[in-house]
Amino acid sequence: MNKSGRPFRVGLLGYGFAGKTFHAPLIAACESLSLHAVASRDAAKVHADFPDATVYRAPEDLIADDMIDLVVIATPNDTHAPLARAALEAGRDVVVDKPFALNLEEARGLIALAKARGRQLQVFHNRRWDSDFLTIRRAIESGLLRRVTHFESRIDRFRPQVRDRWREHAVPGAGIWFDLGPHMVDQALALFGLPDSVTASIATQRDGAQIDDWAHAVLNYGERRVIIHAGMLVAGGSARFTVHGTGGSAVKAKADGQEAQLLSGIRPGAPGWGEDADDLIFFSGSGEPRTIAATAGDQRGFYTAVASALAGEGPLPVRPIEALAVMAVLEAGAASARDGCTMQLPLTPDERALW
């Protein structure tokens, strides 16, 4: 709540897949936030879910609404930076869907602008609150695996037919590396910090594909290897997480189910929300494998933390340097794949010191 005791008013830019499926339900489920307005060309679509919301056709009109405290940007990737800049210049706090921007230079500019204007700027790295990640994080931090030597994170799909949507068109910010890469990179950095270097390979494999639909990156941490992989032609057989260490191995086979719940119409906080029946399997190297119950996920945690930060009662859920580091890995990975070499992270000494 703000100082007057009312919820912070949120303006949501975009009511496509990300806005409708993730942001709007999660915002509505946070009692300290109120979905005040949406920018969309389809007012009927918005009002079917939120009849009391004001609908603006143009993002600029929503940003100019002085009733709004927080602008959430859930538009195509190439619009993230210009819309975030416009919102910051209008004096709004901002949440940007991933990826933060199209490149590191844009991201740095936004962070500098937010600091100059005294506004909060955060990136929607909601997958920190997924059950699969929370389960594997708990196993690592408990010391169950001792020293981790190999960490593998995969988000695979079986979508052999190319869809007619901007994410699969040959436009800036499209493709699997910028779509799914930010989720896995952010999780890896949350666990292990900044890597020494990145080695990546990116490909376009499906018939008729216009943009990359397969990506494989290795984040190098001394002798530890963190593997990030995503593909659109995987019908099965791969685990969401596989981790090996000096104390054993752990496998989390299935992914978090919150996205599927949201798509099926289940609202955040409903009975069964975020629950995960897929146990972690731990292999000690001696004796039979044992199962460990999964930790429930709850992506409401992101917006609950946003509201606390706006009220001055808690830290930002995603610090600007953390969002910037994700962009640095994405940029290094793209350069590595293009040039066929291992790349250092393009961060300055001052930026590294903030980590």
14-39 pLDDT, tens digit each: 999 999 999 999 999 999 999 999 99
pLDDT score recorded for residue 4: 67
pLDDT score recorded for residue 167: 87
Residue 330 has pLDDT above 90, yes or no: yes
Residue 3 has pLDDT above 70, yes or no: no
Question: What six digits make up the tokens of 124?
Answer: 């929607």
pLDDT score recorded for residue 46: 98
- Asked if 62 contacts 37 with a C-beta cutoff of 8 angstroms, the reply is yes
pLDDT confidence of 247, banded at 50, 70, 90?
Answer: very high
pLDDT score recorded for residue 1: 61
Alpha-helical regions (H) of 239-319 = 258-263, 300-310
- Burial bucket for residue 3 (CB in 10 Å: 0-12, 13-18, 19+): exposed
pLDDT confidence of 346, banded at 50, 70, 90?
Answer: very high
CA distance 81 to 113: 11
Integer CA distances (angstroms), 178 to 87, 241, 256, in order: 23, 20, 20
Residue 166 has pLDDT above 90, yes or no: no
What's the angle, vertex CA 71, arms to CA 65 and CA 73, rounded to 5?
A: 125
Percent of the chain with pLDDT over 70: 99
Torsion sign over Cα 303, 314, 140, 278: negative
pLDDT confidence of 165, banded at 50, 70, 90?
Answer: confident
Residue 348 has pLDDT above 80, yes or no: yes
Is the peptide bond prior to 195 cis by the omega test (within 30 degrees of 0)? no
Kindly list the structural domains of the chain, giving each domain's residue range(s) and its CATH number in brackets, ordered by start: 8-124 (3.40.50.720), 128-298+331-339 (3.30.360.10)
Q: How many CB atoms lie within 10 A of CB 312?
A: 8
Over residues 183-210, the mean pLDDT reads: 97
- Asked if 110 contacts 136 with a C-beta cutoff of 8 angstroms, the reply is no
CA distance 43 to 218: 44
Q: What is the mean pLDDT of the chain?
A: 96
User: pLDDT tens digit string along 68-124?
Assistant: 999 999 999 999 999 999 999 999 999 999 999 999 999 999 999 999 999 999 999
- Asked if 151 contacts 243 with a C-beta cutoff of 8 angstroms, the reply is yes
User: pLDDT tens digit string along 256-315?
Assistant: 999 999 999 999 999 999 999 999 999 998 879 999 999 999 999 999 999 999 999 999
User: pLDDT tens digit string along 139-156?
Assistant: 999 999 999 999 999 999
Q: What pTM did the predictor assign? A: 0.95
